[in-house]
Structure 1
Amino acid sequence: MPAPAAALPVTWAPRRNRAVLYALCAVLLVLFTGLAVALPENWQFNDRVMMVCSGVLFAAVGAMLARPKVVADDAGLTVVNFVRSRRLSWAEVVRVNFKAGDPWVMLDLADGTALAAVGIQPGGGREQAVRAARTLRDLVEERGGTARD
């Protein structure tokens, strides 16, 4: 019997991107709150509140951009992208694609559609992304699909 592809559960996420984005979110919140406090006296209270709300909005967008991840467990995959999250069983994933120049891994699904797995991307290092894609491909092959790079 072949060795298992990886010990489950496994989570792939662009950690460097997340660290930068979360730090940027904190800076934006502090900056906009500081601006709201430091505004001249002729600015009204609602202007100050809107300045803080703008900081919260920009930080929320940054947090949304930091969401992507792919989690593999015994039952299947959870693909969390910028706005949506999707749960897939192993049988639903037919192929794992990650070709040179691709911004992230694409999953070919049994229903004929494709799903971007933004959590595995070369933004944190091309070799690391290739390793993650290969591990995911091996897991898909081992647990029910027929995958290829």
Structure 2
Amino acid sequence: MYIIIAGGGIAGSSIAEELLDHKHDVVIIDRERSVCEALYARNGVVTMHGDARNIDVLREAGMDRADVAMGALYRDADNLTFALLAKSIGVAKIMVNMRDPAYEDAYHLAGVTHICDINSMIRHKVLIELESPVISVVTSLRHGEAQLIMFQVPPTWD
């Protein structure tokens, strides 16, 4: 798959590394030239220095042929702009890293198909770790309606 990631910070770069390990074609767009250079030096990911909120930058990155657009920018307003532009170009699968749940409806209206609610996942993980240390939440599904969990079977269970 051809995947464009807006933002080369911790979230964007770690997602890119996983995708590269799974043999996907990835381009990271970041406003900081030094970030682009460091990412390329670290793992060879294709980077583009530019503003992912600019439609000309997205077109130059090949957004018109992207299978997935992933917004991993620090501000939800920036991810929302990126998502709207990706939708207008015709990307079928648009994902964002949501920080503020107040943006959830706006993301849906903008055509975002997958929202990763990091804060919600962290809250759930902390609660489960404190209250049920043998159970771990792997991820939340369907906007928190379901969770994929792992649990340890005690050795005394047969």
Same-fold call, TM cutoff 0.5: no
TM-score normalized by the length of structure 1: 0.24
**Structure with the greater alpha carbon radius of gyration:** 1
Q: With CA pairs under 8 Å and 6+ residues apart, which has the higher RCO, 1 or 2?
A: 1
Q: Structure 2-normalised TM-score?
A: 0.23
